[in-house]
């Protein structure tokens, strides 16, 4: 993989809208959320998905915001199904009823992922700021299973719910989910704004890992548990989206195509719009996609590291945020000269006020 030979992508994260019923403080959407009048119309998304199929895309993750707020969702799912592209709906589930699930299943939806802000009703309501949200999510999950669609329970983990990891596992089992994603919050967008209220202490993180490892062993063949480790306590970073513009990318509600959901935080990059520029041209020739693709751009210690084609230097957006240089080694890596600083920052932030949060909202960040 290099800038001159990008290969073919296999996946797209399609954020159809930034609108959402919930106001979660850990949301990875940008602080400047796009209003409904900035969203692409049905025809534009259909064209993008047709181009994606032509490009060889195998799977599209339909996200937001809350994608079920789009009335054209069944039509978009049907477009993907007709072209043989696997579709995964990522939803909060609070507006999903049996009728909607049945309609999406008929349209050809392949999989549903429902996020739970807490394993307890009171936690879900406190974090998402919607009364009765937990019961609505449970009903949506049951409707998914009754429609014989595969279900993933997504549990975004942070200091406000990290003590519920065992309960999340029980919840996934009770709902008959195929997968549980224990996903420690990544600090971009609203989560970065609220980092001091969300960062868990190291001892809580270590307890969480022990619980997950034990459950993986005990539930092998029953429940697949994916674990997204917390970057700030890592020894080595994760490959950003599998590597910058290596096999996947994302598209925002207004059509902006980016290698990952946080890439807009890198100020010197300019991103093209998939409603105006052919998708194939963006993937193969966009300077922003080529900027950190492969390994040629790397500095030491990444350039000479034996892991350079495993984690591809880690997250470019995190390097930008913490090192001030998108080409720097991700400070989450123990080989980064800034690794000690990120560990100290994690410890400092984990002592912050857990209730001092700004809730996700189009137009303004609302205090708790």
65, part of any domain = yes
Quote the pLDDT of residue 229.
86
Nearest-angstrom CA–CA distance, 31 and 189 = 6
pLDDT at 368 over 50: no
Quote the pLDDT of residue 367.
47
> What is the mean pLDDT of the segment spanning 110-117?
98
Quote the pLDDT of residue 40.
98
- Domain CATH code at residue 150: 3.20.20.70
Q: Which of 175-179, 198-202, 235-239, 288-292 has the lowest mean pLDDT?
A: 235-239
368, part of any domain = no
Residue 34 belongs to domain spanning: 9-363
330, part of any domain = yes
pTM of the model: 0.94
Quote the pLDDT of residue 281.
97
Average pLDDT value for the chain: 94
196-252: per-residue pLDDT in tens? 999 999 999 999 999 999 999 999 999 999 999 888 998 999 888 889 999 999 999
35-92: per-residue pLDDT in tens? 999 999 999 999 999 999 999 999 999 999 999 999 999 999 999 999 999 999 999 9
Q: Which of 153, 173, 307, 318 is nearest to 226 (CA)?
A: 153
Q: Residues annotated as binding site?
A: 20, 24, 27
> What is the mean pLDDT of the segment spanning 267-294?
96
301-357: per-residue pLDDT in tens? 999 999 999 999 999 999 999 999 999 999 999 999 999 999 999 999 999 999 999
298-315: per-residue pLDDT in tens? 999 999 999 999 999 999
Q: Residues annotated as binding site for [4Fe-4S] cluster?
A: 20, 24, 27
2, part of any domain = no
At 362, the pLDDT band (50, 70, 90 cuts) reads confident
Nearest-angstrom CA–CA distance, 49 and 51 = 5
Count of structural domains within the chain: 1
> What is the mean pLDDT of the segment spanning 278-293?
96
Nearest-angstrom CA–CA distance, 119 and 163 = 10
Nearest-angstrom CA–CA distance, 258 and 326 = 15
125, part of any domain = yes
Quote the pLDDT of residue 6.
79
At 4, the pLDDT band (50, 70, 90 cuts) reads low
Quote the pLDDT of residue 163.
97
1, part of any domain = no
3, part of any domain = no
179, part of any domain = yes
Q: Which of 2-6, 98-102, 118-122, 364-368 has the lowest mean pLDDT?
A: 364-368
At 2, the pLDDT band (50, 70, 90 cuts) reads low
């Amino acid at each position: 993989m290099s800038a001159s030979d990008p290969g073919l992508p296999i996946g797209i994260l399609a954020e159809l809208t930034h609108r959402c019923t919930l106001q979660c403080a850990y949301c990875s959407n940008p602080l400047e959320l796009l209003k409904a009048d900035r969203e692409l119309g049905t025809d534009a998304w259909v064209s993008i998905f047709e181009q994606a199929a032509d490009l060889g895309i195998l799977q599209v993750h339909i996200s937001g915001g809350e994608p079920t707020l789009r009335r054209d969702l069944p039509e978009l799912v049907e477009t993907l199904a007709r072209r043989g592209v696997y579709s995964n709906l990522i939803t909060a589930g609070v507006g999903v009823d049996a009728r909607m699930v049945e309609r999406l299943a008929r349209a050809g939806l392949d999989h549903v992922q429902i996020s739970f802000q807490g394993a307890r009703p009171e936690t879900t309501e406190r974090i998402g700021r919607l009364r009765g949200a937990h019961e609505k999510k449970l009903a949506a999950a049951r409707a998914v299973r009754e429609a014989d669609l595969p279900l993933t329970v997504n549990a975004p983990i942070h200091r406000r719910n990290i003590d519920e990891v065992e309960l999340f596992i029980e919840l996934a089992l009770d709902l008959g989910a195929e997968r549980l994603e224990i996903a420690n919050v990544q600090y971009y967008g609203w989560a970065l704004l609220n980092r001091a209220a969300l960062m868990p202490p190291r001892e809580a993180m270590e307890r969480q890992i022990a619980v997950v490892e034990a459950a993986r062993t005990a539930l092998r063949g029953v429940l697949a548990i994916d674990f997204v480790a917390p970057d700030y306590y890592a020894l080595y970073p994760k490959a950003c989206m599998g590597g910058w513009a290596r096999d996947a990318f994302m598209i925002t509600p207004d059509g902006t195509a980016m290698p990952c959901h946080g890439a807009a935080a890198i100020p010197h990059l300019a991103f093209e719009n998939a409603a105006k520029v052919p998708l194939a041209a963006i993937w193969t020739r966009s300077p922003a996609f080529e900027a950190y693709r492969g390994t040629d751009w790397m500095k030491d210690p990444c350039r000479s590291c034996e892991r350079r084609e495993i984690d591809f230097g880690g997250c470019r957006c995190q390097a930008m945020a913490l090192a001030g240089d998108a080409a720097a080694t991700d400070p989450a890596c123990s080989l980064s000269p800034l690794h000690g600083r990120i560990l100290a920052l994690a410890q400092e932030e984990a002592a912050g006020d857990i209730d001092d949060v700004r809730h996700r909202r189009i137009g303004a960040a609302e205090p708790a």
